[in-house]
């Protein structure tokens, strides 16, 4: 249990559908500003918008001179896409109105690969026994049918107010916020559904993106399952809300979550993952890649393979967009994993991946480039382990 008096943020609920969404996307822009400053050398006047900055860099390198026209086209298509969504939602809600299922426990996941992680956390929670589980609440047709035509019309009105408000913001933020509003209509329908079902439980592996912000302000029973490390130094524009239950791997992470949320309960869980065998598992080094650290990862593998003939297993982060350096990193690998694969290995390496906890729990030696002090230091540490005589 968290000491509520020690939590610095208020958990006041954000009233008004469109205002709640606007605050959520403003916060997500703050997240991108943090990534831009921490992981890129972009100048403030660089044309790359503050919207999924790492993916934008990969896209800019790929498109070259076509990048700016592409962004302009994307901005022009957002209101057109909105009108298409409005029409489809009205048709579906009018023709197929009614509840789709009886689930009262909804999982909102950032990546499908984290479903097992969430279920591992929930399986030990007796308060959720007997609840029918649902993973499909973000489906467009599903939400249109659930909230009905009146709900859809309310969301259309709110969406119009949101778009007009964004267009009236200062030019320095307008492009960023428009791009961040790409899925605003679905989020509006989700919030409409949430407010109509106050007894339902919503669980996510999201730490501080739009789903977590919106659910923490609009859901009576909102829960978060930790899937990675937190950055406690992000300057968000708006305070997050209430978390009824927080599932963490260790209580040392509780103060970091409490920087953003008002936490009512906390539980410890083990991030157990299914480990799969591959032809190189017995001797292989497994590198869990992350695009912002790809240069360090390449340097690490070059240094290790220059001194030892050892098989290398690489898994690219399923939520990251890579540029041409992905091919260079893949060329250093003996085996490249699929997005949903967690390979068995002799040694686990990452820049600072939370997957390390799952491998460490299995007794597998783990190394972090960040904690080692850089790729050269991490490579030396890995080589020192590999050069030890067998017991």
- So where are the chain's domains? 4-268, 285-386
Return all residues near 316 (Cβ < 8 A) that are at least 6 apart: 289, 322, 326, 329, 330, 336, 337, 339
For residue 25, pLDDT over 80 is answered with yes
Please, what's the b/e burial string for 247-259 (b: 16 or more CB within 10 A of its CB; e: otherwise)? bbbeeebbebbbb
User: Nearest-CA neighbor of 110 among 339, 359, 352?
Assistant: 339
Is the model more confident about 73 or about 120? 73
Per-residue pLDDT band for 272 (boundaries 50, 70, 90) equals low
Task: Find out whether 41 and 246 touch, Cβ atoms under 8 Å.
Answer: no
Distances in whole angstroms, Cα of residue 111 to Cα of each of 17, 22, 289: 25, 23, 16
CA distance 37 to 351: 18
Just give the CATH number of 285-386: 3.40.50
Per-residue pLDDT band for 100 (boundaries 50, 70, 90) equals confident
- Model pLDDT, residue 388: 85
**What's the token pair of residue 4?**
């509520």
pLDDT, average across residues 15-24: 88
The CA-to-CA distance between both ends of the chain, in Å, stands at 44
Strands 201-204 and 133-134, by their bridges, are unpaired
CA distance 69 to 53: 17
- Model pLDDT, residue 120: 86
- Model pLDDT, residue 324: 86
Per-residue pLDDT band for 113 (boundaries 50, 70, 90) equals confident
List pLDDT tens digits, range 274-327. 788 999 999 999 999 998 899 999 999 999 999 999 999 999 988 788 888 999
- Model pLDDT, residue 102: 80
List pLDDT tens digits, range 27-73. 999 999 998 988 888 887 788 999 999 889 888 888 999 999 999 99
Q: What is the model's pTM?
A: 0.80
């Amino acid at each position: 249990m968290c000491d509520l008096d020690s939590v610095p943020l208020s958990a006041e609920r954000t009233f008004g559908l469109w205002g709640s969404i606007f605050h959520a996307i403003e916060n997500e822009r703050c997240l991108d500003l943090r990534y831009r400053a921490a992981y890129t050398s972009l100048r403030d006047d660089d044309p790359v918008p503050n919207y999924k900055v790492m993916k934008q860099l990969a896209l800019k390198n790929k498109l070259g001179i076509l990048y700016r026209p592409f962004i302009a086209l994307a901005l022009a298509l957002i209101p057109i896409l909105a009108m298409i969504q409005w029409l489809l939602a009205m048709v579906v809600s009018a023709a197929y109105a009614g509840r789709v299922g009886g689930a009262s426990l909804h999982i909102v996941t950032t990546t499908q690969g984290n479903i097992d992680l969430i279920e591992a956390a929930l399986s030990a929670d007796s308060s959720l026994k007997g609840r029918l589980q649902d993973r499909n609440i973000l489906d467009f047709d599903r939400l249109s049918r659930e909230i009905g035509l009146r709900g859809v019309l309310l969301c259309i009105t709110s969406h119009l107010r949101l778009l007009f408000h964004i267009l009236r913001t200062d030019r320095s933020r307008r492009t960023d916020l428009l791009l961040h509003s790409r899925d605003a209509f679905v989020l509006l329908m989700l919030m409409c559904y949430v407010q109509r079902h106050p007894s339902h439980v919503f669980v996510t592996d999201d730490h501080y993106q739009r789903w977590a912000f919106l659910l923490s302000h609009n859901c009576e029973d909102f829960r978060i399952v930790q899937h990675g490390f937190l950055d406690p130094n992000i300057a968000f524009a708006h305070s997050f809300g209430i978390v009824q239950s927080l599932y963490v791997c260790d209580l040392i992470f509780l103060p970091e979550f409490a920087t953003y949320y008002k936490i009512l309960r906390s539980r410890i869980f083990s991030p157990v993952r299914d480990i799969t065998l591959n032809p190189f598992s017995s001797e292989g080094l497994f590198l869990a890649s992350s695009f912002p650290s790809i240069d360090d990862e390449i340097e690490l593998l070059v240094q290790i393979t220059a001194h030892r003939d050892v098989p290398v297993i690489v898994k690219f982060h399923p939520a990251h967009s890579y540029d041409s350096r992905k091919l260079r990193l893949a060329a250093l690998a003996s085996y490249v994993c699929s997005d949903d694969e967690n390979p068995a290995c002799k040694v686990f390496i990452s820049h600072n991946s939370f997957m390390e906890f799952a491998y460490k729990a299995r007794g597998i030696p783990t190394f972090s480039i960040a904690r080692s002090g850089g790729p050269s230091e991490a490579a030396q540490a890995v080589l020192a382990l590999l050069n030890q005589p067998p017991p």
